[in-house]
Amino acid sequence: MLGLCAAQMSSRGDGVWEYILVTLAYWGLTITDGAIRMLVLFQFYLMGYTAFQIASLFLLYEVFGVVTNLFGGWIGANFGLRVTLFGGLGIQIIALAMLAFMNPAWPAWLLVAYVMVSQALSGIAKDLTKMSSKSAIKAIIPADADATMYRWVSLLTGSKNALKGVGFFVGALLLTLIGFQMSLLLMSAALAILLYALWEHLPDDLGRSKEKAKFKSMFSQDHRVNILSAARFFLFGARDVWFVVALPVYLAAMFGWSPLLVGAYLALWTIGYGIVQSVAPRFIAAKKGEVPKGHTVFFWSLVLTAVPAGIALALGAGFFPQLSILGGLAVFGVVFAANSAVHSYMIVNYAESEKVAMTIGFYYMANAGGRLVGTVLSGWIYQVYGIVGCLWVSAIFAGQSTWISSKLTFAEGGQKPREALPPPMGLALPA
């Protein structure tokens, strides 16, 4: 079937076929990535681990996401996005198989270390695939087609998030029906079939730079990219500080929800979030064909800041806790989806065609750094201050992202790029 489609579409020069292939690869990995998160989280929650202990299991996942985005962009620029895309799929298969052979009877230190290593591989796989997919869009869309690129980036990112929600549900459902080990083996086999099916149909030179890329060029000299990356760091920290560990543990502990119910709810939320992100160009733009600018990033980040603060106030006042958290989460999903869609377009738009993989790799290094900090804080703050504490930290992070993104309009106004900022974990923000 895939080969027949390739024969019919490979002659097209509009990049549609390559976009479909990249999207299929991204979708396949995304479903397994979401499923792994639910499988690991609830397997260890049922084993009696605390929220902070569960969060620590994902520490290397996020750390290696930072490292992968730094090196992955350079690898993609020099060797092509096919190498990084299929490398990501292959590493995910190894991570799934590794987890499948985990033995809960092992000593606690060995069990935790083993899972952390498998999650490190999964983090590498996810960010290699994401960086490759976003970079490929810049490589296959004709120049000066900004509106088309905006739609395609939003569709790819939105569909990915919707399918990550499917992955949450798949993970919880498989854990309930066939158990931890068989779930992982089944997903590993399915991903191997997808990798084999796509192997021969993606161009070898996709995204490869015409000149040898130097590693030092990974750190962007474009002031706009540095500002957007810093804003991205705090944006995703604002989400993950309450969503990754605190929220599912809170739903299970406070409301008595089963792993399947929590997984199903988070799946529906993430699917809805992805759908909103996919259609974001329709309601964000003031008029048809208009694309986001620096002020768009600032506006949506400002709106986001108010949402977790509002949820925290409602919960702190004891106002119908279940309604407050679920209703607030729905609003947060819509606003965060708008933010993410705008960000995803802006970084692809800012990236130079010859350096797209490196620019996006640098940007998603900041993204992974935000997830890392958010994940660690999610477990620790929830354990000490509860879900309300996590929400206040989320509001602070979103406010920081708003302040940083306010600099974008100035940076877009024709100012000469300043000296490149250091990596996102130690950003020196412009005055």
CB neighbour list of residue 108: distance below 8 Å, 6 or more residues apart:
none
The more confidently predicted of residues 121 and 414 is 121
pLDDT in tens, 321-354: 999 999 999 999 999 988 988 887 787 777 665 5
Residue 404 in any domain: the answer is yes
For 20, how many CA atoms within 13 A lie in the half-sphere containing its CB?
12
Predicted TM-score of the model (pTM): 0.71
Mean pLDDT of all residues belonging to the chain: 78
Domain-embedded: residue 278: yes
State pLDDT tens for residues 47-96.
888 888 888 888 888 888 778 877 766 666 666 667 778 888 899 999 99
User: Residue 175 maps to which CATH number?
Assistant: 1.20.1250.20
338-362 as b/e: b if 16+ CB within 10 A: bbbbbbbbbbbbbbeebbbbbbbbb
Identify residue 130 by its one-letter amino acid code: K
Q: Answer yes or no: is 359 within a domain.
A: yes
Mean pLDDT, to the nearest integer, of 230-247? Answer: 91
8 within a domain of the structure (yes/no): no
HSE (CB half, 13 Å, CA atoms) of 241?
26
Does any domain span residue 422? Answer: no
Compute, in degrees rounded to 10, the torsion defined by CA atoms 111, 115, 116, 121: 150
Amino acid at 427: L
Residue 425 buriedness (CB in 10 A; 0-12 / 13-18 / 19+): middle
Q: How many domains does the chain have?
A: 1
User: Predicted confidence band at 217 (pLDDT cuts at 50, 70, 90)?
Assistant: low
pLDDT at 297 over 80: yes
Q: According to the model, what pLDDT value does residue 282 have?
A: 72
The CA-to-CA distance between both ends of the chain, in Å, stands at: 56
Q: What is the pLDDT of residues 93-142, one digit of tens each?
A: 999 999 999 888 889 889 999 999 999 999 899 888 877 776 666 555 55
State how far the Cα of 83 lies from the Cα of 329, in Å rounded to an integer: 38
Query: What is the Cα–Cα distance from 237 to 367, expressed in whole angstroms?
Result: 8
DSSP class per residue in 355-419: GHHHHHHHHHHHHHHHHHHHHHHHHHHHHHHHHHHHHHHHHHHHHHHHHHHTTHHHHTTTPPP-S
Residue 7 lies in a domain: no
3-state helix/strand/coil string of 181-213 = HHHHHHHHHHHHHHHHHHCCCCCCCCCCCCCCC
Task: Return the percent helix, strand and coil in the chain, to nearest 5.
Answer: 80, 0, 20
Range of the domain at 346: 15-202+218-414
Residue 208, domain member (yes or no) = no
In a domain, 320, yes or no: yes
